């Protein structure tokens, strides 16, 4: 795998915000190989969402550079090389679910027939069959997020950026969507960058977990997740799962000694 | 309905002078018997209101679109617009009459247009600025141009705001046209008719004129509501209403 061209390389990236002179990220180095599922985890203020946005060229780095598919991040964005999912579903109320999923396809200039076929496929894949003609506000939170994932995967981007996509959902829905996400990831063989607050979610989903620490945002350590694939409901019950969760937690705690008490509680 | 029954019954019961407050049944009768002068007058005034509504709202939307393109201008403009909104524009009616000739429908259209302009502009601007930043980020991830973001995110977000303003403006337009006519206008205008009837104690006819004015105002308002139902079908608020 190491001989393949990385999907994402983050080289020496630093980000400071002029307001309040905050260093959100300092000297970040990270490489993602094709097909990897990498989680970014850390307490609030560690810059994990900012890093995701820098990879997507939605926020410029102060120094350093990012390449996606061997291209500068900006070119990759213009070429629509990645899909993005936010914590909120960010669906357009004035579009039906089907039309929301078709949005990136419209932007890519797909013809109507091709769009319709792909949307039907995505609705089926994300268990939204029969809801294509509904409006977003007629769906539950979990279904809205499914639609938003369907939209991100619809044009089969090589890279998927996910910013705490399941953070607002209840535990049951979250675990089910975790499994659905893994199955669609394996099917489409994409590369995923996944920002989360949840240690167990990160360990369950990922091939690698990047642990970050705040002020300034740095990479505290990277944990390789050697759980057997495909992951299933039983994965969470394996001793190795608990060992890895502990390893990530220790890493977070070690780097979190200078945190405020209420931030430490989160660990 | 209950109000009308109480009104009718109350007048009969307390022997109110007919010329001060006529019975609803008398008003409806006058509405029918005077249709020869009343209805064309209503149509004349309605056209003034409609013209003013169209001109004022269009200019309001255009101005908001223009100001909305430039964030700093928009931020600086907002307080001025809100302050200007507090000016009792109807007080300018006599001046507009002089500027545009009181006998010309243009003077009433001008009053109605000025009345409509500010609420439409302020609300449209607010709507254009209410777009969800995440939706804009999503569009940027698709390498969308500013024009595409405007068309696919800002305009749909602004539409419910625009219609709220248009509903207000539809009522204001009718008020503007009629009150404008109170200060003088063509003898074929509804406001002039109501005003002169009231002065010579023809209260029944004046009330019939007011009834007609209300119906026309409601018709314009209703037309905006229908347009909203068609164009903003998706909004949860429209669905529940």
pLDDT in tens, chain A (267 residues): 445 788 899 998 888 887 767 888 889 999 999 999 999 998 887 888 999 999 999 999 999 999 999 899 999 999 999 999 998 889 999 999 999 999 999 999 899 999 999 999 999 888 888 899 999 999 988 899 989 999 998 888 889 999 999 888 888 888 888 988 898 888 888 899 999 988 999 999 999 999 998 888 889 889 999 888 888 888 888 889 898 998 899 888 876 555 555 555 555
Distance from CA of B146 to the nearest CA of A (A): 13
Who wins on pLDDT, A16 or B235? A16
For chain B, state the CA radius of gyration: 22
- Residue A77: its pLDDT value, please? 92
How many Cβ contacts (< 8 angstroms) between chains A and B?
A: 48
pLDDT band at B12 (very low <50, low <70, confident <90, very high): confident
- Who contacts B110 (Cβ-Cβ below 8 Å, separation ≥6)? B52, B96, B99, B100
Q: Does A109 touch chain B (CB under 8 A)?
A: no
B197/B209 Cα distance (integer angstroms): 9
**pLDDT > 70? residue B239:** no
Interface contact B235-A104, CB threshold 8 A = no
What are the φ and ψ backbone dihedral angles of A66, each rounded to 5 degrees? -130, 135
Q: Is A237 exposed, middle or buried (0-12, 13-18, 19+ CB in 10 A)?
A: exposed
A138/A134 Cα distance (integer angstroms): 6
Q: Does A99 touch chain B (CB under 8 A)?
A: no
Distance from CA of B167 to the nearest CA of A (A): 21
Q: Which residue has the tokens 């001793």?
A: A239
Scanning every residue of chain B, which has its alpha carbon at the shortest distance from the alpha carbon of A152?
A: B138
Q: Return the structure tokens found at B44.
A: 């004349």
A39/A248 Cα distance (integer angstroms): 11
Nearest residue to B143 via CA among A98, A155, A188, A9: A155
- Mutation choice for B interface testing from A72, A92, A136 by most B CBs within 10 A: A92
Residue pLDDT, tens place only, B180-194: 888 877 778 888 888
Residue pLDDT, tens place only, A10-25: 998 888 887 767 888 8
Distance from CA of A183 to the nearest CA of B (A): 24
- Residue A136: its pLDDT value, please? 92
Residues of chain B positioned with their CB less than 8 A from the CB of A58: 137, 140-141
Residue pLDDT, tens place only, B104-128: 888 889 999 999 998 999 899 989 9
Q: Does A84 touch chain B (CB under 8 A)?
A: yes
Quote the percentage of chain B above a pLDDT of 70.
96
Interface contact A90-B134, CB threshold 8 A = yes
Interface contact B140-A78, CB threshold 8 A = no
pLDDT band at B237 (very low <50, low <70, confident <90, very high): low
A213/A233 Cα distance (integer angstroms): 30
Residue pLDDT, tens place only, B22-37: 888 888 888 888 888 8
Q: Does A94 touch chain B (CB under 8 A)?
A: yes
Scanning every residue of chain B, which has its alpha carbon at the shortest distance from the alpha carbon of A148?
A: B138
* Count of C-beta atoms within a 10 Å radius of residue A22: 14
Please state the pTM of the whole predicted model: 0.81
- Residue A260: its pLDDT value, please? 53
Q: Does A82 touch chain B (CB under 8 A)?
A: yes
- Residue B241: its pLDDT value, please? 38
Interface contact B143-A56, CB threshold 8 A = no
Of residues A80, A86, A95, nearest to B143 (C-beta): A80
pLDDT band at B41 (very low <50, low <70, confident <90, very high): confident
- Residue A266: its pLDDT value, please? 53
- Residue A103: its pLDDT value, please? 94
């Amino acid at each position: 795998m190491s001989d393949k061209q990385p999907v994402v390389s983050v080289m020496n990236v630093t980000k400071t915000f002029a307001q309040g002179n905050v260093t959100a990220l300092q000297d970040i180095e990270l490489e993602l190989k094709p097909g990897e599922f990498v989680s970014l985890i850390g307490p609030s203020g560690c810059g994990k969402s900012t890093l995701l946005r820098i990879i997507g060229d939605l926020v410029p780095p102060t120094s350093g550079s990012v390449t996606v598919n061997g291209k500068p991040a900006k070119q990759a964005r213009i070429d629509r090389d990645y899909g993005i999912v936010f914590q909120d579903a960010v669906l357009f109320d004035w579009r039906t679910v089907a039309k929301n999923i078709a949005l990136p396809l419209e932007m890519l200039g797909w013809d109507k027939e091709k769009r319709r076929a792909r949307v039907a496929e995505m609705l089926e894949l994300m268990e939204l069959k029969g809801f294509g003609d509904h409006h977003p506000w007629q769906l539950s939170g979990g279904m809205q997020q499914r639609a938003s994932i369907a939209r991100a995967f619809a044009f089969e981007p090589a890279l998927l950026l996910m910013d705490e996509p399941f953070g607002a959902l209840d535990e049951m829905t979250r675990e089910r969507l975790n499994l659905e996400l893994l199955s669609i990831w394996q099917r489409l063989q994409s590369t995923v960058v996944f920002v989360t607050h949840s240690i167990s979610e990160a360990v369950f989903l990922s091939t690698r977990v990047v642990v970050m620490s705040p002020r300034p945002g740095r990479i505290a350590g990277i944990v390789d997740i050697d759980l057997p694939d495909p992951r299933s409901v039983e994965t969470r019950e394996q001793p190795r799962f608990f060992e890895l969760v502990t390893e990530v937690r220790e890493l977070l705690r070690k780097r979190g000694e200078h945190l405020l008490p209420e931030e430490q509680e989160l660990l | 309905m209950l109000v009308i029954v109480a009104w009718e019954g109350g007048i009969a019961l307390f022997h109110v002078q007919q010329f001060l407050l006529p019975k609803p049944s008398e008003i409806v009768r006058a509405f029918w018997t005077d249709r020869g002068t009343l209805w064309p007058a209503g149509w004349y005034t309605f056209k003034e209101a409609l013209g003013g509504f169209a001109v004022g709202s269009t200019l309001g939307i255009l101005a908001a679109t223009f100001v909305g393109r430039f964030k700093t201008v928009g931020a600086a403009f907002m307080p001025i617009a809100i302050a200007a909104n507090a000016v009792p524009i109807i007080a300018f009616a006599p001046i507009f009459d002089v500027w545009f000739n009181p006998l010309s429908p243009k003077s009433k259209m001008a009053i109605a247009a000025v009345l409509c302009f500010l609420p439409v502009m302020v609300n449209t601007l607010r709507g254009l600025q209410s777009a969800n930043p995440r939706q804009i980020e999503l569009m940027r991830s698709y390498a969308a141009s500013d024009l595409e973001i405007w068309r696919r995110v800002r305009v749909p977000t602004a539409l419910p705001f625009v219609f709220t303003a248009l509903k207000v403006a539809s009522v204001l337009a009718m008020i503007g046209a009629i009150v404008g006519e109170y200060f003088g206008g063509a003898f074929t205008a509804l406001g002039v008719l109501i005003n002169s009837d009231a002065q010579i104690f023809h209260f029944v006819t004046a009330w019939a004129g007011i009834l007609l004015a209300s119906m026309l105002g409601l018709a314009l308002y209703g037309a905006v509501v229908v347009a909203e139902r068609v164009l903003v079908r998706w909004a949860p608020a429209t669905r529940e209403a």
